């Protein structure tokens, strides 16, 4: 019985290890520099945030990058929030890592009402010019 459990554990570990292996999806002759790197941040690295237009949120992370998140609705009172929590929508399977194109959960604590949670997609990383072009009230 012990040998069967050990074999199953080894097989599961092999599958998990293989799923993390790098995969070359580029055509022959493509260089790694020609393919854009996935832009991600860790939820715990968020240092500041500001609400933008309706349903839009801008967050600044430790490396001074600014990400734009667009809510799918239900993210009311973002412009009045003094604190919030951002977590991956996949339930923490990515280790708290959230990338452009991923969905995230935004949790807004409230003193009188119950805690509210909504979903938002990380749409892009803003360039320094994009950040400078934001109205000052929207700049994190």
Q: What is the pLDDT of residues 4-54, one digit of tens each?
A: 444 444 444 443 434 444 444 444 444 334 446 789 999 889 999 999 887
Number of domains in the chain: 1
Is 84 within a domain? yes
Which range of 31-35, 82-86, 114-118 scores highest in mean pLDDT? It is: 82-86
Is 114 within a domain? yes
Task: Identify the pLDDT of residue 121.
Answer: 95
Is 65 within a domain? yes
Residue matched to tokens 């600014």 = 66
Is 17 within a domain? no
Is residue 116 within 8 A of residue 102, CB to CB? The reply is: no
Task: Classify strands 97-99 and 40-42 as parallel, antiparallel or unpaired.
Answer: antiparallel
Which structural domain range is residue 84 located in? 40-138
Is 1 within a domain? no
Task: Identify the pLDDT of residue 28.
Answer: 47
Mean pLDDT, residues 117-125: 92
Q: In Å, what is the CA distance from 32 to each residue of 14, 25, 98, 114, 135?
A: 26, 10, 22, 47, 36
Q: Which residues of 26-43 are buried (b: 16+ CB within 10 A; e: fewer)?
A: eeeeeeeeeeeeeebbeb
Is 124 within a domain? yes
Is 19 within a domain? no
Is 58 within a domain? yes
Enter the pTM of the model: 0.69
Greater pLDDT, 94 or 30: 94
């Amino acid at each position: 019985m012990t040998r069967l459990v050990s074999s199953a554990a080894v097989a599961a570990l092999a599958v998990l290890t293989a799923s993390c292996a790098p995969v070359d999806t580029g055509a022959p002759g493509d260089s790694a520099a020609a393919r854009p790197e996935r832009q991600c941040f860790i939820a715990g690295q968020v240092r500041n945030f500001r609400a933008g237009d309706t349903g839009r949120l801008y967050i600044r992370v430790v490396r001074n990058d600014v990400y734009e998140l667009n809510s799918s609705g239900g993210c009311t009172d973002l412009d009045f929030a003094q604190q919030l929590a951002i977590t991956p929508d996949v339930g923490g399977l990515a280790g708290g890592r959230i990338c452009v194109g991923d969905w995230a959960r935004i949790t807004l604590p409230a003193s009188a009402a119950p805690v509210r949670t909504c979903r938002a997609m990380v749409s892009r990383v803003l360039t320094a010019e994009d950040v400078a072009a934001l109205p000052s009230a929207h700049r994190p």
